[in-house]
Chain A
Amino acid sequence: MEPIYLDYAATTPVRPEVREAMLPLLGETFGNPSSVHRWGRDAKLKLEEARARIAALLGARPTEIIFTRGGTESDNLAILGRSRHQRGAPVVCSAIEHRAVLKAARAAAEEGAPLHLLPVDQDGVVVVDALDEVLEPKPAVVSVMWANNEVGAVQPIRELAERSAGARVVFHSDAVQAFGKLHIRVDEVPVDLLSISAHKIGGPKGVGALYVRKGVRLEPLIHGGGHERGLRAGTEDVAGAVGFAVAAELAHREREEQCERLGRLRDRLQAALVERVPDLVVNAAGAERLPTILNVSVPGANNEMLLVLLDLEGIAASSGSACSSGGVDPSHVLTTMGLPAEVAGPSVRLSLGRETTEREIDQVIEIFPPLMERLRTMSGV
């Protein structure tokens, strides 16, 4: 059996159209966009076109799009950039944010910002009313991801953004996982800052963007030549920006159709696994979820061996564990959702993408249950 990739939430293959579009920027259009001469102007043109195209998809102005080197950097810029602009003001974020937000928030706390974490319910959805308690004294930023990357739970962003706006508090959303899958427009929802990333939607790794609503002030993290309106110094990655724009447009164009197709596949996979794996737990089942993510727990199976076994059998998936050398701390997201360790531990995230086929889902439905059976039997030994 050909190995099956079900880790699209981690990253996606670069699309051929994206690669095509990037090549000239890795070839004859090599200029530095800041240069006065024609090489510079040609590159600058491409950069600004890319910026405008991405802005259009979001309903933003081009001047409101800042290119960064990825989603993590965008998150750091949003959190620390805001916190350093209003030193001492609290930072608020949900307890289930990606580590890029949580760690940046902790860094802000080290610099003197009181940190408040918004709780979530058992389906991984932020408790909106909890926000009201932390809007005074005014935080430097409130950050809640558009949809959670581990379990897929879609957050009540409109509600949260509106309440923040009402209190005149800057609202940031990490939309790295949701962009290209959900309808996201900053002219419809009053978010002030939005993080997005290219490699989650068929673009290259190493490029992302932060939407910064006009009027919102930030301290830059990377200092230097004043690029990106003084918010992100460094000679721009024009090839990356162009790739990002092409990937974003394609994703946008195909969004509804792909989401409908993948949602169906995901639901079929979920139903089959629930039927065939006794006591399987579907995490965040009660929430509205991204159509591409299925996070399940297999109580009784050894945490650590779950992914290893799947990999050996040709299924690529992931889980929420931390540590670069292979640790087994259960996902902070599942733990915050209230799952006991024996359920949070043996969890796996299967995520679908454009290239996922019916046949692959059929194969996973065949292979997964007996593997879990074996794992459970051996785990008790």
Chain B
Amino acid sequence: MKRTVLVAMSGGVDSSVAAALLVEQGHRVIGATMKTFCYSEVDGPTQTCCGLDGIMDARAVADRLGIPHYVFDVERDFTRDVIDDFVDEYAAGRTPNPCVRCNGNTKFRDLLKRGRMLGCDAIATGHYARMGEDEFGNPVLLRGVDRQKDQAYFLWGLPTELLPRLLFPLGELTKPEVRERARALGLTTAEKPESQEICFVPTGNYVDVLEARLGSDHAALTPGPLVSTSGERIGTHDGYARYTVGQRRGIGGGHGRRLYVIGARPETREVVVGTLEETYRRELSVGDLNWLASPAREGDVVEVQIRHRAEAATARVVDATGERVTLCFHEPQRAVAPGQSAVFFSGDVVLGGGRIERDA
């Protein structure tokens, strides 16, 4: 079925090929790049994704494909929904996933809103994911076929009402196939390196954003006690927001073994470290839930992915209220980071997800 599709184009090879495929498929395609922050304040080469270079690249691809291309200013909403959340989470001792927040708010919802004003009935992105249907014909979100690149993990936050309007042209392709297509189409972005950094972190160092927003004398960025799991103070860290759960930390000074970050306690500014064994947990709870299928219930056995590049692991739902789900994994999981996403799968189908909460 031919649709009028608004495709989010970051200027990268993935969204470029996504747009090209939609054009090939005969849809009426309109390209858009979302401006998430103001470049005039950024020195030096602008990052891939939403920087000014990205816009120019997206425009060049759109011109090549013969489709219109516009820039949408989403800075205010993006700052509120993504950047503020990012900063608040680090201040609270958690590890946020801004791309997840963006997908759940700006990238899809705001894009569709604008798309509808322009007469579009669908939106598309270059994510490696697929749309499918369940046995009742309801739309379901699926992993992409390229397991290495699969980005379904980042999409759990999509509002369900958007599902019928989503297209993911790259879901059936592998990354090498996508690059090949880009070359074959003569797209300027075929060899462009992947965006590894967060789009609103121009320096590549997230701490710079925290310092700018919180001030470098904030509790999260200033020294505090480094403690063991038994509560013994063993040293000093230089700001709990600078550490990620699971991170190795060489301390020296007679401990003799490697220490790993277990977690942070913002109330006391402590960073807790322990042995590798101590970083493993079986239980965790997930809040801020979004279900794309029916919610998990107590007693269910589910497949949960708690890191982007990891297999889903089996867990039992030991408690489920509307607000949170508590899971007990069959196998202990390493370095569970509060703030990160826990995504529920049934095979390739994304059932939903939420944010991992800090232990009580």
- Residue among B52, B71, B117, B119 with the most chain A CB within 10 A? B117
Some 9 contacts from A to B, beta carbons below 8 A apart, are A312-B30, A312-B68, A323-B38, A325-B39, A326-B35, A328-B73, A374-B119, A375-B117, A378-B116
Residues on B with C-beta less than 8 A from A381 are 113, 116
Q: Which of B30, B52, B113 touches A325 (beta carbons < 8 Å)?
A: B52
**What sequence of 0s and 1s flags, for each residue 50-87 of chain B, a beta carbon within 8 Å of any chain A beta carbon?**
00100100000000000010111100000000000000
Cβ of B114 < 8 Å from any Cβ of A? yes
Closest to A326 in B: B71
Contact B35 A325 (CB under 8 A): yes
Residues A357-377 near B (CB distance < 8 A): 374-375
A312 CA to B68 CA, complexed, in Å: 8
Cβ of A127 < 8 Å from any Cβ of B? no
Closest to A302 in B: B117
A326 CA to B71 CA, complexed, in Å: 6
Cβ of A228 < 8 Å from any Cβ of B? no
Contact A309 B72 (CB under 8 A): no
A327-B35, A381-B116 known, 7 other contacts, Cβ within 8 Å: A311-B70, A312-B68, A312-B118, A323-B73, A325-B35, A325-B52, A325-B55
**Which residues does A use to contact B, with CB under 8 Å?**
302, 304-305, 308-309, 311-312, 323, 325-328, 374-375, 378-379, 381
A311 CA to B119 CA, complexed, in Å: 13
Contact A304 B119 (CB under 8 A): no
Contact B118 A305 (CB under 8 A): yes
Closest to A376 in B: B117
Given A311-B68, A312-B30, A312-B68, A327 contacting B117 (CB threshold 8 A):
no
Q: Shortest 5 CB-CB distances between A and B: which pairs?
A: A326-B71, A378-B117, A305-B117, A378-B116, A308-B70
Residues on A with C-beta less than 8 A from B114 are 302, 304-305
Cβ distance B310 to chain A, nearest Cβ, rounded Å:
37
Cβ distance A328 to chain B, nearest Cβ, rounded Å:
5
By secondary structure, the B interface counts as: mixed
Interface residues contributed by chain B, number (CB under 8 Å): 17
Contact B35 A309 (CB under 8 A): no
Residues on A with C-beta less than 8 A from B73 are 304, 323, 326-328
A305 CA to B73 CA, complexed, in Å: 10
Cβ distance A22 to chain B, nearest Cβ, rounded Å:
29
A311 CA to B67 CA, complexed, in Å: 12
Closest to B74 in A: A304
Contact B117 A325 (CB under 8 A): no
Cβ distance A298 to chain B, nearest Cβ, rounded Å:
12
A378 CA to B72 CA, complexed, in Å: 16
Cβ distance B165 to chain A, nearest Cβ, rounded Å:
13
Contact B71 A309 (CB under 8 A): no
A302 CA to B77 CA, complexed, in Å: 14
Residues on A with C-beta less than 8 A from B52 are 325
**What sequence of 0s and 1s flags, for each residue 33-44 of chain B, a beta carbon within 8 Å of any chain A beta carbon?**
001001100000
Residues B16-46 near A (CB distance < 8 A): 30, 35, 38-39
A381 CA to B71 CA, complexed, in Å: 20
Closest to A313 in B: B119
- Residue among B52, B55, B70 with the most chain A CB within 10 A? B70
A312 CA to B117 CA, complexed, in Å: 11
A328 CA to B116 CA, complexed, in Å: 19
A323 CA to B71 CA, complexed, in Å: 11
Cβ distance A288 to chain B, nearest Cβ, rounded Å:
34
Cβ distance A218 to chain B, nearest Cβ, rounded Å:
31
Residues on B with C-beta less than 8 A from A326 are 35, 70-73
A325 CA to B70 CA, complexed, in Å: 9
Contact B118 A309 (CB under 8 A): yes
Closest to A305 in B: B117
A271 CA to B30 CA, complexed, in Å: 33
Contact B113 A312 (CB under 8 A): no
